[in-house]
Amino acid sequence: MVISLTDYMSFEKLGLSDKILEAITKKGYTSPSPIQEKAIPKILERKDVLASAQTGTGKTAGFTLPLLQILNQGQQLRNRPVRALILTPTRELAAQVYENVREYSTYTDLRSTVIFGGVNAGPQIKTLNRGVDVLVATPGRLLDLHNQKVFSLDKVEIMVLDEADRMLDMGFSRDIKKIINLLPERRQNLLFSATFSKEIKKLASAMLHNPVLVEATPENTTAEKVIQKAYRVDQKQKPAVVIKMITEGDWHQVLIFTRTKHKANRLSEVLVKKGISSAAIHGNKSQGARTKALDGFKKGTVRVLVATDIAARGLDIPLLPHVINFELPNVPEDYVHRIGRTGRAGANGEAISLVSIDEIEYLRDIEKLLGQSLGAEIIEGFEPTETAPPKGASKKPQNKGQHNRRGNGNGGGGNTNNSNSGGGNKKPFRRRRSRQS
């Protein structure tokens, strides 16, 4: 990719140094994203920052670039104690953030590493013993190795909480407090979150000092480029509908969400039996299996990735064209995160939701959050026959054991196109509008 002088200068105007700019040029980026344009100068001014940004907005570079510059311009300490700590909720996100840190620090003398659970701690300990300037970590493994006195955090200058909302959602609140207590009182704090819940605001008030508020997109909005469609089908029909969509649409990269680990495994097995390469990714899978599945999905050897919400959080899959909600999430905000996997970096994407009768209330909650109707339709040949649950029965499907998110490894702005928008996408089958909503 050719970098024009004008575009290169736009990054330069943010106050970044030549060594960081050289790394940006090598990556092929031409101009900063909105979150980078707003956050980088404030971070370079050494201010605490509270940022609202979805995954896919360039937020990682938004804190990584200035963080590396600050450390590189500072005095290198003897034995290289940890000077910057970046906390993430999942192993996958930790690995991706570390890769960014490594690439952007190419032309500096800074050392970095990543630590997370699910893998042998031995190599991580060896690297830490040699000294690192930047440590990317998940909370559990960080506390484990710190308790073993593998490293110290008393020289940390910059603390970053990435996807803080998901950290709290996964039950890491107590761990975060423990980690904060291990850090020096005088430090710079950066908190990035997709949403600003009461809990996030409470955490921010306890952690940040006179923070600058940076917002890349409005809260709880879905990507402009995502075409959303909803179909009313019986629960038992869903696997057949998915197979029909993928085969007749000739889709080669599809991310499918389920609410439970068991359903993710079952659906993946069904797809494989039908000759569609698939892999499931959830908290019960080993780190090796999850890395292999994600790798195969990115390279195209795995056509379909079936994931639970927690396992998919933080996945960085560029230009993903299709997301299917095999089951609607019971937390409406998770719908926003799910469909934010597609329609990124200016590309078009399609998000399809399969809605059974017991998920109608979930659909209404999502529509209320979005402020628009998704207009559920009927697929010809898959007309639903399920009836509403009897009066007095729970209207929402029970999700046994799935709301305890701790320990599992697990989206943009503006108005959203609904099912009538078409968007030039291939229609795999005919459909007629449902009278149900």
Q: Residue 75 belongs to what domain range? A: 5-215
pLDDT value at residue 58: 82
- Both 301 and 350 in a single domain? yes
Residue 209 inside a domain? The answer is yes
Q: Cα-atom radius of gyration of the chain, to the nearest Å?
A: 22
Residue 379 inside a domain? The answer is yes
- Both 41 and 106 in a single domain? yes
- In whole angstroms, give the CA distance from residue 97 to residue 94: 5
- In whole angstroms, give the CA distance from residue 297 to residue 290: 11
* C-alpha pair distances (Å), 173 with each of 60, 69, 140, 163, 170: 22, 30, 11, 13, 8
pLDDT value at residue 429: 45
- Both 171 and 282 in a single domain? no
Per-residue buried b or exposed e for 272-287, using 16+ beta carbons within 10 Å of the residue's own CB: eeeebebbbbbbbbeb
Q: Please give the helix or strand (H or E) that residue 296 lies within, else none.
A: helix 287-299
Per-residue buried b or exposed e for 342-364, using 16+ beta carbons within 10 Å of the residue's own CB: bbbeeebbbbbbbbbbbbbebbe
Residue 132 inside a domain? The answer is yes
Q: Which two tokens stand for residue 43?
A: 């971070």
Chain position carrying tokens 């998915």: 242
pLDDT value at residue 269: 96
Q: How far is CA 153 from the centre of its chain?
A: 27
pLDDT value at residue 315: 66
- Both 281 and 420 in a single domain? yes
Output the pTM of the full model: 0.62
Q: Which two tokens stand for residue 58?
A: 């360039």
- Both 415 and 305 in a single domain? yes
Q: How far is CA 1 from the centre of its chain?
A: 27
- Both 338 and 378 in a single domain? yes
Residue 347 inside a domain? The answer is yes
pLDDT value at residue 197: 80
* C-alpha pair distances (Å), 2 with each of 5, 18, 58: 10, 18, 20
Which of 168, 191, 215 finishes a domain?
215
- Both 236 and 211 in a single domain? no
DSSP 133-156: SEEEE-HHHHHHHHHTTS---TT-
Contact 348/321 with Cβ under 8 angstroms?
A: yes
- Both 352 and 393 in a single domain? yes
Residue 221 inside a domain? The answer is no
Residue 380 inside a domain? The answer is yes
- Both 109 and 165 in a single domain? yes
Q: Bridge partners of 431?
A: 379
Contact 266/238 with Cβ under 8 angstroms?
A: no
- Both 159 and 278 in a single domain? no
pLDDT value at residue 409: 39
Chain position carrying tokens 């690439």: 103
Give me the sign of the Cα torsion angle 350, 253, 170, 128: negative
**353-382 per-position pLDDT tens digit:** 999 999 999 999 999 888 888 888 999 899
- In whole angstroms, give the CA distance from residue 15 to residue 18: 10
Number of domains in the chain: 2
Which of 215, 245, 278 finishes a domain?
215
**146-198 per-position pLDDT tens digit:** 999 999 999 999 999 998 988 887 889 999 999 999 999 999 999 998 878 88
The set of residues, in sequence order, having a beta carbon less than 8 Å from that of 258 and lying 6+ positions away, is 264, 267, 306, 307, 308, 326, 327
Nearest Cα residue to 186 out of 156, 229, 153, 160: 156
Residue 220 inside a domain? The answer is no
Q: Please identify every stretch of the chain with a pLDDT value under 70, giving residue numbers as ranges.
A: 1-9, 55-56, 217-225, 310-316, 318-319, 343-347, 388-437
DSSP annotation of 28: T
The set of residues, in sequence order, having a beta carbon less than 8 Å from that of 236 and lying 6+ positions away, is none
What is the CATH number for 402?
A: 3.40.50.300
Residue 101 inside a domain? The answer is yes
pLDDT value at residue 76: 74
Q: Which two tokens stand for residue 364?
A: 């209404």
Q: Is 403 helix (H, G, I), strand (E, B) or coil?
A: coil
Q: Which two tokens stand for residue 215?
A: 């917002």
- Both 427 and 396 in a single domain? yes
**Size of the chain, expressed as the number of residues it contains:** 437
